[in-house]
Structure 1
Amino acid sequence: MANNRGPSFFLTLLFHLLTISASFVQISSLGFGINYGQIANNLPSPSRVVLLIKSMNVTRIKLYDADPNVLLAFSNSNVQFVVGLGNEYLANMTDPSKAQSWIQQHLQPYLSQTKITCITVGNEVFNTNDTQLIMNLLPAMQSVHGALVNLGLDQQVTVTTAHSFNILSNSYPPSSGSFRQDLLQYIQPLLAFHSQFNSPFLINAYPFFAYKDNPSEVSLSYVLFEPNPGSIDPNTNLNYDNMLYAQIDAVYAAIKMLGHTDIEVRISETGWPSKGDTNEIGASPENAATYNGNLLKRIEQKQGTPANPSVPIDIYVFALFNENLKPGPASERNYGLYYPDGTPVYNIGLQGFLPEMVIASSSNPPSLHGLNSTLLRHAAIQIADHNLNHDIQKLLDGNFASQLRLRTFISWRRIIHHDVASAGDRSSSRSTIPATLRSPLFYRYWLDFRKALNDWARKKRFQANIMDELIRLVKAPIDKKNGILDGNLRKYGSCAVVGNSGILLKSDYGRLIDSHDAVIRLNNARVNNFENKVGKKTTISFVNSNIVHLCARRVGCYCHPYGPHIPIVMYICQAVHFLDFTVCNASHKAPLLVTDPRFDVLCARIVKYYSLKRFVEESGKILDEWGSAHDGALFHYSSGLQAVMLALGICDKVSIFGFGKSASAKHHYHTNQKAELHLHHYEAEYQFYRHLVDRHNPIPFLSDNFNLPPVVLYHLLLPIMFSIFIVTEILG
């Protein structure tokens, strides 16, 4: 197809599409779904497919897996997804714990942003000769459904499986449809499952196969929805003018024969190949266009079948793209409506458009604004939020069923010395709060814990101007504890943020660090015996909640390597750590403050932005592949980054020490740890610090009204150049 549109046109169009509302506002969305298979090595990125799907006005997609790149790309759209568990997963899915783990890892992280309505467990299992696989099907479906119930998702996500039409032994006439005798022992309980949980029965139906195998007996017009006399069912006197409707009603009849009239039949796959081998009669672009074009017209008319005229047919067309790596005959690789470059294989009026790929390169750089818009959109998606929200709700409900929550709770009970049921009493569950607690102290802590967690959860949202509130949220409580009550909220004049990198052992910054008005240290790093390197002054101890969790095990919740009067500011790694905060806060002489969740959200977005930016620039890969390189569900900023962000909000000048790495240096100056934590992206954070220093690049997500203080970076070993960038004087 000729195309004389230049690159500027596509950049302009891409920018326009990316900056309009993320929700798909449609004038008239089509009623069919589409199968998005990916057995190919030449397909467009999921982020480009989003725009194609949007231009097609399609709102339902069926996947054969739970590809995180696809689910992430479709965040904040109104496209509904069916995701798949391949046959290779069935044996593991019979284990309820493994089924729940799969959902927590592959489904839950995306549910807050992407609409996932169904899981297909296996595909055409009864069409295999694997008896064990067949026997595993229903137990796997039951385990997956049970896991959804446990996670409170069963009203949102249904469970089913897709079948080949070959599970029927008879399909003519449609009213006499019946299942194969050898499968009845498996299908009968499967139907009971569908009936009990109101999930659909899925069939992959291809009239093409019937025509290919018997072209002399099967009318081409009949299978292509073209005008024809039709076929009369002698039992019902109903006329069928196409084979697909006859196949659907045959499945309904087979289900009814086993005693069920309450199960909906949906077509999970149907289509027609545009090309085939020489013996695949009927495979042509003309026939494919006729079949799919006429099918879409009937879907648009909301037609039902002759036996169920009031139930509109529910169909997923196969497939979105031709897939060049699919095994089997040539037809298997040619069911797509589109070629991988976005060109329609044939015209059926869908008007889909796939924009040209925009590649970041020195020879042809993309629009800076357009690239930033894309990065900002991706950085705003925090796929771990769904797990966090679920965990918070469980804790507020008193559910400590997980091993981690239970272990924390048991430790907490021991610390506050309340009475519980005896260890020999097996009648009480260890997964919820014991009913025999008698200590008034426990109830006081329990109420304080719920209030703190609930307040924190309610405030967890993005707020760009939260930096302007850090003086009130952090410095004011510290000043009050120190007896500074003049009511004039002033920033610290100069602050040193001291990281824990082993490169500090090659410096003598102790005196320089102590000369600052305030010194912020990280995660209880020792200063004893390191005074010449890191100084000895501490104004704020900044820690992650794992540190306080360890401190909570000690008598009196001792967590004061710098002295009991040094305030502690901590960010929450896990919601259950509010238990530790509640107990330790009561015993601390100095303030123990939890970072505002709005501040946490801001930090998370900034570091993800820089991680995405660095990933694209260094790897040359598309944004959709970032998740596999950095585990999206676990990815998190470091304590150091948030400590620097805190200093930006409460200090007039900021100096940064001990951030960086060297092949010859330990990871931390005070421990023997060598390896980095993979949930952080340190190089991306270093790039952020350099931008704070040079001030030539805007910082994403910060309010335009926030004035960044001068920042100096001391002794940063650049990770790429392996050279040392040293600033020897304080700005000022």
Structure 2
Amino acid sequence: MEIQRLKINNPILLILLFSLLSHSTIGAAPVGVCYGRVATNLPPPSAVISLLQSNGISRIRLFNPDLDALSPFSGTQIDLMIGVPNEILPTLANGTIDTSLQWLKSNIFLHVSPSQVRYLAVGNEVLLKDPFYAPYLVPAIHNLYKAIQTLGLDNTIKISSSHAATILSNSYPPSTGSFDPNIMPILTPLLQFLRETGSPLMVNIYPFFSYINNKKYVTLDYALFRSSKIELIDQNLGYTNMFDATIDAFVYAMEREGFDGIPVVVTETGWPTGGGEAAGVDNALAYNGNVVLRALNNVGTPKRPGVGVEVFLFDLFDENGKSGGEYERHFGIFGINGSKAYDISFN
């Protein structure tokens, strides 16, 4: 394995990037936005729908099927990723298929058409951050899948679970990517399910926090897609940014366990506009703007070039009820009055 740092001239990098970004946008990887609602000052859902439509945002992630937030999407042609809350996993896992059917009908399909639902994200960051629910994860997923099979929706709705990047015990360099061995008794059957059903591995990736916590080893430009050099050569693949490197680490980790070809969907990624060091509108635009551009142009990653990565940017609005540090409250792309925090385009 060859690992080294290599500087290249800016014109060469620009030519490389131009060639990557010149792919046709036909069949571009979808770009969505997370609609977090841990706040006391959010605009009414009707105003949110208008905001999304006027900005060309056609895919949204809801962290739970909150009726007030979900029902306004009915008939809007906005595609949805809907979270199945961690706390409901034991009920679904221990229940019958009919239990899952009734839950889906009463909490989701009674309020929006199944044709708008693209994903069910069963649990959020369960394996390491909420381990009490971990034993229920795969059984709940299997029961939900059998329920959507019963409804004839298994070809249009994909089921998976969203994971923190910390389920990787090693991610640098990407080719050494490996999962935390402690979670493999649950993760292995989950990966088997994903392969059998053609569903993606869902991951939450935040180069911002990687930079903040590892400034000795990670440059800000590497985290922001602004590096003027190839920072890493690994297995003859060159990396100029942490986003690509992290996704490829997940791909290598899955291959290490014998699971090739499973797609990766980034269910959360973003950059804060405030809260402390390295936050700000310029950096948020640099990061999120590049994430969108790369998805729309199907740039892919060094290991999977030309395979666009579907992403959900975090977050639609700042969430003043968030805990976990000041940064957490400042990921909003839009102000509560509907104005953009920075000039990002979604198409």
Query: TM-score band (shorter)?
Result: 0.7 to 0.9
CA contact (8 A) 2:161 2:202 kept: yes
CA separation of 1:209 and 1:319: change in aligned 2, threshold 3 A: same
CA contact (8 A) 2:55 2:345 kept: no
Supply the AA of the counterpart residue of 1:176.
T
Instruction: Measure the CA separation in 2 of the matches of 1:331 and 1:350.
Output: 24
Alignment of 1:396-411 (within 5 A): none
* CA displacement at 1:349 relative to structure 2: 4.3
CA separation of 1:266 and 1:30: change in aligned 2, threshold 3 A: closer
* Alignment coverage as a number of residue pairs: 319
1:122 paired residue number: 123
1:698 paired residue number: none
Partner SS, residue 319 of structure 1: coil
Equivalent of 2:343, from 331, 341, 347?
347
1:252 aligns with 2:251: yes
CA contact (8 A) 1:80 1:115 kept: yes
Instruction: Measure the CA separation in 2 of the matches of 1:258 and 1:113.
Output: 33
* CA displacement at 1:350 relative to structure 2: 5.7
Instruction: Measure the CA separation in 2 of the matches of 1:50 and 1:114.
Output: 18
1:50 paired residue number: 49
Instruction: Measure the CA separation in 1 of the matches of 2:48 and 2:129.
Output: 32
CA separation of 1:72 and 1:208: change in aligned 2, threshold 3 A: same
CA contact (8 A) 1:168 1:180 kept: yes
Supply the AA of the counterpart residue of 2:106.
Q
Equivalent of 1:317, from 303, 313, 318?
313
Cα shift readout 1:172-196 (whole Å, capped 9, x = no counterpart): 1111110011111111111011111
Cα shift readout 1:253-278 (whole Å, capped 9, x = no counterpart): 0001111113111111000111125x
Instruction: Measure the CA separation in 1 of the matches of 2:303 and 2:195.
Output: 20
* CA displacement at 1:47 relative to structure 2: 1.2
CA contact (8 A) 1:321 1:338 kept: yes
* CA displacement at 1:294 relative to structure 2: 2.2
Superposition RMSD on alpha carbons, in Å?
2.0
Alignment of 1:151-230 (within 5 A): 151-230=151-230
CA separation of 1:212 and 1:145: change in aligned 2, threshold 3 A: same
Structure of higher CA gyration radius: 1
Choose between structure 1 and 2 for higher RCO, CA contacts under 8 A separated by at least 6 residues. 2
1:455 paired residue number: none
Q: TM-score, normalised by structure 1?
A: 0.42
Partner SS, residue 332 of structure 1: helix
CA contact (8 A) 2:31 2:346 kept: no
1:150 paired residue number: 150
Instruction: Measure the CA separation in 1 of the matches of 2:307 and 2:342.
Output: 30
2:15 paired residue number: none
Query: Percent same amino acid at aligned positions?
Result: 36
2:66 paired residue number: 67
1:33 aligns with 2:29: no
CA contact (8 A) 1:81 1:115 kept: yes
Cα shift readout 1:678-721 (whole Å, capped 9, x = no counterpart): xxxxxxxxxxxxxxxxxxxxxxxxxxxxxxxxxxxxxxxxxxxx
Instruction: Measure the CA separation in 2 of the matches of 1:159 and 1:49.
Output: 26
Instruction: Measure the CA separation in 1 of the matches of 2:53 and 2:284.
Output: 23
Supply the AA of the counterpart residue of 1:51.
S
Q: TM-score, normalised by structure 2?
A: 0.87
1:296 aligns with 2:324: no
2:109 paired residue number: 108
Supply the AA of the counterpart residue of 2:32.
G
Supply the AA of the counterpart residue of 2:257.
L
Instruction: Measure the CA separation in 2 of the matches of 1:99 and 1:233.
Output: 47
Supply the AA of the counterpart residue of 1:105.
S
Q: Which has a greater percent of strand?
A: 2
Alignment of 1:140-539 (within 5 A): 140-234=140-234, 236-277=235-276, 281-349=277-345
CA contact (8 A) 1:200 1:265 kept: yes
Partner SS, residue 182 of structure 1: helix
* CA displacement at 1:141 relative to structure 2: 0.8
2:12 paired residue number: none
1:89 paired residue number: 88
Partner SS, residue 306 of structure 2: strand
Partner SS, residue 271 of structure 2: coil
CA contact (8 A) 2:57 2:346 kept: no
CA contact (8 A) 1:63 1:82 kept: yes
Supply the AA of the counterpart residue of 2:192.
A
Instruction: Measure the CA separation in 2 of the matches of 1:262 and 1:217.
Output: 30
* CA displacement at 1:73 relative to structure 2: 1.7
Show structure 1 runs of 5+ residues with no match: 1-27, 352-732
CA separation of 1:333 and 1:114: change in aligned 2, threshold 3 A: farther
Partner SS, residue 290 of structure 2: helix
Partner SS, residue 101 of structure 2: helix
Alignment of 1:600-679 (within 5 A): none
CA separation of 1:297 and 1:82: change in aligned 2, threshold 3 A: same
Instruction: Measure the CA separation in 2 of the matches of 1:85 and 1:223.
Output: 31
Instruction: Measure the CA separation in 2 of the matches of 1:137 and 1:173.
Output: 30
* CA displacement at 1:242 relative to structure 2: 0.6
CA contact (8 A) 2:122 2:160 kept: yes
CA contact (8 A) 2:28 2:296 kept: no
Partner SS, residue 100 of structure 2: helix
CA separation of 1:113 and 1:49: change in aligned 2, threshold 3 A: farther
CA contact (8 A) 2:29 2:309 kept: no
* CA displacement at 1:29 relative to structure 2: 9.4
CA separation of 1:32 and 1:275: change in aligned 2, threshold 3 A: same
Supply the AA of the counterpart residue of 2:248.
D
Instruction: Measure the CA separation in 1 of the matches of 2:222 and 2:118.
Output: 34
Partner SS, residue 163 of structure 1: strand
* CA displacement at 1:301 relative to structure 2: 2.0
Cα shift readout 1:395-445 (whole Å, capped 9, x = no counterpart): xxxxxxxxxxxxxxxxxxxxxxxxxxxxxxxxxxxxxxxxxxxxxxxxxxx
CA separation of 1:349 and 1:145: change in aligned 2, threshold 3 A: closer
2:20 paired residue number: none
2:3 paired residue number: none
Instruction: Measure the CA separation in 2 of the matches of 1:350 and 1:126.
Output: 32
